[in-house]
Each structure stands twice: as structure tokens, then as C-alpha cells.
Structure 1
């Protein structure tokens, strides 16, 4: 198989910007807008705050289930999209799905901001989750479509670092500008429309040879990748470790309000500080470990170590739950999660079992991460309700991070081999044999 040509700075810039707005659209509501919106609708001015936490977790969990279904289906549809039948501006397999997903995110974000009842919020958030899954599946499939193995760590680092940066930019925009819930949603929707359209149309997406399209393939079972042992161990570890991360981060606002008993304005300001600290370490860790994995390999080992570092953050907060210690835990969580997401995604692309199903299989990989981030709050809400506090949340975050790392060990080690330069002449061939 021919190695893809090296990608340039423009490709990486557009790819990073696409993921930046996707993460802003998904995680800013999760961290700030949805909790504020639902707290105002269900908590009775704080008298029923546990009820508010539970409602928020349930809505995020419902959205997660919708994303679980939508991501792989959208990826599979893009694998089977015959771009030769489209106008050239619509691209090959991925562009139409990236474009449609971006506009779907924007539409449902606006509708979520307008929803004035919890059940309406739930319906609209399902729409956001489905659209995020569609766009994510399309953009992620561009990695194996267009990148050589020794460039996939850099692209994975772009996804991981833009995730953390997206939280900071999204929450920071809402807090610094003093936006209410509805204007916050509308600003996010506008950003997704502009940047998502630009990235969708700007990234290359040439029609694939019909031999690479997953059309009429009958020589293996449907969803054959889920019968691949290594692929499944990787997926399981990615899911569980992401649940551990979400338990440690997604309830920060409620933890500041009702665990550390801060007032609303102080909690919002301190949440932004926590997110900035977390982001700095996620971005640094993503870039550094992405480069290491491209140059040295050892992706499975690095993924496992990263999960263990993430686990330590829960222990730190559990041991001494103060705001200062929570900041230290956020930094430690950022180091572990940044490395885990970056190297883990590059490891996942190495394990993809069937070239014709890259979009679908990477849709499953994305779902395993997104499901962890969205199921985590639902599980955390149940743990808070069970004990009337947050200590069990951080304890479980530690346990699940360790379990996710150990599960990743079940997949085979697939260090990417250095590029082999083919001889271009008989003389070169003779020299190579010597």
C-alpha cells in the first residue's frame, strides 16, 4: 500500500479548528450551560440541588446513548458514500457528513438554549449529541484516510489539545462576557457554523477508489471489527478510562457549589480557573506525548501509564478536598488525560482491522470516548445521591482510570515501523541490498 503524502500546516490548522469548535459545542454546555440551565429549572434556589444534579446526569446520559448509535452509523455511511456521484465541491466520502454534522450541532444548540423545560432540554441535547457524533466520525476518519502512521500522533494531539482548549475558550467566553444561558448557546452555534463550514470545505476529501468503499462486502460478518480481540480491548479501556475522567471533571461546578460551599459567582470564576489549569496540562501533555509516540512508538505502554497518572488525581482530591488541592488534582488529571487521549487515539488507528470500514470503526472509537464523557455525569449523579456528597465520585474516578489502563494492556502492542523508502533505480536497489 502506498504511504499517504505528508500533510502540511494548512491541513493541520483546519483539522484542529474543526475539533476546537466541536469540543466547545459539546463540553461548554456540559461543564457550565446545562448545569446552570437545569439548576435554575429544577433546584428551587438550591433547596433541591441533588435533584438538579440527578436530572442533569440523566439528560447527559440520554444524549450519550443517542451518540453511541449515531457515531458508528454515520461512520459506516461515510465509508459507503460514493463521492464520484457528487459535485466536486461536496468531496468524496467525508465532507458531506462533516458539513451536515456541523450545521446540525449549531441548530440543536440554539434549540437547547430556547428550551424552558427539562424534557425539552433533553430532546434538544439528544440532537446536539447526534450531530456531534456525525461530525466527529467524519473528521476522525480523515486521519487514516490521509495520514501516514508516523503523523497520526500529531493529528491525535490536535484533537486532544483542542478538547482542553475548547473548554477554556467556551467557558471563558461565557464567563468573561457575562453571557446568560441562551446567548451562550447562540455564540457557540455561530462559531460551529462558521468554523465547521470552513474546515469541512477546506480539508481535502478526494473520492476513494471503489475498491476501498465498503459496498457489497460479504466476505466477513457485519460489524466484524467488534469481533477483533485487540480492537475490543482498546475500546473497552478507552471507554472506562473516559468515564473515570468525566467523574473527576464534569461535576466540578456542583462540587464547588455544594461540596466546597462556594457562592454562585465565586464558583463560576473558580471553575474557569480550574479549567484553565486543566487545559494547560492537557495541551502540553498531548503535544509532548503525541510527538514521543510518533518518534518512539510504545503507544500501548504510554496509554496505560497515562491512565495511571489520571487515577492519581482522584486520590489527591479525595485525600484533602479543598480548592487549592482540587487545582493540583486538575493539573494531574490534565497530564494523564492529555497523554491518554492523544496516544490512545493514535494506538486505535494502528489497530483498525479493515481499511474499508475506517469511518465506521473510528466512529465507534469516538463514541467510546464521548460515551465516557457523557455517562460519567450520570454515574456521578447517582453516586452523589447515594452518599449525599462527592467523596465516592473521586474514589470511583480513580478506580475506573486504573481499570481502563489495565484493559488497554489486553490489546497487542503495535509500534509503528519507521517509513521505508523504496529504491528508485536499479543502482539504488543494489546499494540497498548491500
Structure 2
């Protein structure tokens, strides 16, 4: 059996990989990366936005007990995300499997996610849900790390904006498709989990078949505990621009992670019955995904055309703050839908540009998996940390305080991008 981490003689250079990604290969690559991103977001975010809330409400009842349980579950998931994401990237960089160093972990992560969702259907206590959600976070981070790294591996720099826009579209479409599928099944039943798990796994399987990811046979240092420990760190003094890019993503993703509380907001603040909340989320999701679709594609290609990224990130942060301000004052579904559309435009704009920005500032292109996994932590942590902190904010000022706090973080993220060098202005060591 082929060792995952054996040494071998040679591998294509980064330039050769980018050159091979042009033409026919890129035409295969784009639908493949979109399917993989669609699958992992369908599995992970659908749980955050709908399934976990419904499951915990069934266990402990509606009201503060459910929101507190949700915070405990996602808080432990945040710790798991913090640990697993850098390790996933480092392992992906060193993998020598015949399936390829990225495809191997896309498939493995998706399989484990599907099994976790099956196990969720028989969980009976909050702590069982905690353990399963931690496993789901780890599995999802292996797939996220592989998705991000393969973009750095194979997409030429002048095409990254357009590809990032399409990846952003798939990122947004995953949860709405997942919520739609879950809503088609009996409410709060096991079928909701099973249908989403099956769809997410199918999307990833199709992606793995489309990708061309030849085994990396270049010599690498051994993968030991020291190498794994190094996966958690980059030197911000040597690579300050990469550090600022991490902070920008973290702050703005904190704002957009407010959607993980939409189920509770609709039920507890607007009084939407639990039996109806799934359909409301589907319609709101459709409005959001249409906004994201237009914004992500347009912003991605405009960014490539004008050769600038910072203005798009600033616009995304501003739109996030406006959207959250509307949510803080929302007294009707009409206001919620306006907020969702504005937030969708901001999300699409951000997702279209941010991935290309982060890839451009990678400290080491040959260890893209490790460095992009560090960036992935900035995406994963808000999805869990915001619900973890939310009960305290809700206890003091309700949903208005929660949304306004996140709006401030969005504005800080928009300001922080000014510390990131614009395209073509990178200096050695940044």
C-alpha cells in the first residue's frame, strides 16, 4: 500500500501547476471546486443555520434553554475548528495518496460529515450533540483546507478573482440548497439530516471525479509532531500583510455569521412558529443566494479587470453593517428580507475577492494547504464563536445588541483591509 507521506524524487513546480490549470483543465476545475464547496457548506452550514437549532429545541424546549445549548455546542465546535484546521492543511500538503493530496481529504472529510449527520438522528443529549458537532467541524475543516489549497495550487493569478467569485457563489448556494432539502422532509425528523447528508456527499463525489490532482511526489520533511505544531503558526512580523488579511476575514465573517441565529431570531423575536420557520428560511435564503450570485460573479471579474481588491472588501463590510443594522430594528419579515438582500450583495462581493486576496499573500506557495488552513480558521471560528458569545449579548440587550455588535465588527474589518497591500504592490516579506 502506498504510504501517505513517503519521499519521492520530483513534482511539478508551482508555475507548471498554474500553466496546467489553463484551458481544458480549468474548465474541469471550476465545476469541480464549486461542487466540493457546495457539498461541504451544505453539510456544515445547514446544520448551523437550521438543523442544530431544531434538534436542540426538540431536546430542551424553546426559549433561553435552546439558545444556551446552541452556544455550548458551537463553542466547543469552535475549539475543535481552531485545532483541526491548521493540522488539516499541513497533512494535506504532505499527503502522498494515489488519489492526490487534495482530493483525498475532500472525500474523507465529506464521508465523515455524512456519517456524523446520520449519527445526529439518534443523539438524545446535548453532550452527544457536542461531540458529534466537534467531529463535524474537524471533518469539514479537512475538506475546506483541501478546497482552498487546490485553488492556490492550480488557478493562475490572473484568473483567481473570477474563480473566487464562482466559489463564493457555491459557498452561498450550499446552505440554501441544504435548507430547502431539509424543509422538504418532515420537520425535526431524521429525514432532514439524511437527505442533506446524501446530497452533500453526492456533490463531493462528483467533484472528486472531475478534479485532476496528480500525486505530489516531491521530497518533503517528515510529518512529525514538530511539523504539526508548526501548522498553527506563521510569523506576522515577516508576513504582516497575511496577518492583516486573516484579521479582515475574521472580522467580516463574524458579521456574516449572524445568519446562524436566524432560526432563533425568527421564532423568538418575530414569533414565527417552528413548523413554519423552515419555509421562511428557504425564501429568505433564495433572496440571499440570488443577491450573492450576482454580486460574487460581477465582483470577481471586476476585481480581475481593474486589478484591485481592497475597495470590494470595504464595500462588503459596509453592506454587512447596514444589513445588520436593519436586522436590529426589524419588526416584520419585509425588513428582514431587505436586510437579507443587502447582506447577500455584501457576502457575494466579499467571497468573490477575499479568497483571491488571501492566496495572493500566501507566505509560502509550496505549503499552501497549511497557510490557507490558517486562513480557514478565520472563517470557521466566527461560525462558532458568535453563537458562543451570543447568549450574553442577548441577555443584556436582546437581538438588537447582538446584531449591532456584529455590525461594528464588520466596519472594523472594512477599515483593517486598508493595511493590506493592493494587487501588484506587495513588498518582499509581506
TM-score band w.r.t. shorter chain: 0.7 to 0.9
1:4 partnered with 2:46: no
- Specify which of 175, 179, 182 is matched with residue 174 of structure 1: 182
Q: Aligned Cα RMSD in Å?
A: 2.2
- Specify which of 322, 336, 339 is matched with residue 329 of structure 1: 339
**Alignment CA distance shift 1:133-1:33 (3 Å):** same
**Alignment CA distance shift 1:94-1:267 (3 Å):** closer
1:72 partnered with 2:123: no
Where does 1:2-401 land on structure 2 (aligned, <5 Å)? 2=16, 3-5=18-20, 6=22, 7-43=25-61, 46=62, 49-81=63-95, 83=96, 86=97, 88=98, 90-91=99-100, 93-208=101-216, 210=218, 213=220, 222=230, 223-227=233-237, 228-247=239-258, 249-387=259-397, 389-401=398-410
Distance 1:261 1:132 in 2: 33
Residue aligning to 1:430: none
Question: Contact 2:185–2:191 (CA<8 Å) still a contact in 1?
Answer: no
Distance 2:184 2:290 in 1: 18
Distance 2:359 2:189 in 1: 38
Distance 1:106 1:416 in 2: 43
Question: Contact 1:290–1:339 (CA<8 Å) still a contact in 2?
Answer: yes
Question: Contact 2:244–2:416 (CA<8 Å) still a contact in 1?
Answer: yes
TM-score (norm 1): 0.87
Residue aligning to 1:427: none
Residue aligning to 1:428: none
Runs of 4+ in structure 1 over 4 Å off: 213-218
TM-score (norm 2): 0.88
Question: Contact 1:71–1:363 (CA<8 Å) still a contact in 2?
Answer: yes
Aligned to 1:210, the other structure's residue is in SS state coil
Distance 2:386 2:125 in 1: 23
Distance 1:282 1:111 in 2: 32
Q: Which runs of 5+ in 1 are unaligned?
A: 418-434
Distance 1:316 1:386 in 2: 19
Q: Which runs of 5+ in 2 are unaligned?
A: 1-14
**Alignment CA distance shift 1:151-1:225 (3 Å):** farther
Aligned to 1:139, the other structure's residue is in SS state helix
Compute the displacement of 1:216 (Å): 8.8
Residue aligning to 2:6: none
Question: Contact 2:182–2:196 (CA<8 Å) still a contact in 1?
Answer: no
Count matched residues.
Answer: 402
Distance 2:172 2:295 in 1: 11
Distance 1:74 1:225 in 2: 19
Question: Contact 1:238–1:408 (CA<8 Å) still a contact in 2?
Answer: no
Compute the displacement of 1:121 (Å): 0.6
Compute the displacement of 1:225 (Å): 4.9
**What CA deviation, in whole Å up to 9, does each residue of 1:342-372 have, x standing for no partner?**
2011100000011222001111112211211
Compute the displacement of 1:403 (Å): 0.9
Distance 1:316 1:74 in 2: 38
Aligned to 2:121, the other structure's residue is in SS state helix
**Alignment CA distance shift 1:225-1:184 (3 Å):** farther
Question: Contact 2:161–2:300 (CA<8 Å) still a contact in 1?
Answer: yes
- Specify which of 413, 420, 423 is matched with residue 422 of structure 2: 413
Compute the displacement of 1:267 (Å): 2.6
Question: Contact 1:18–1:199 (CA<8 Å) still a contact in 2?
Answer: yes
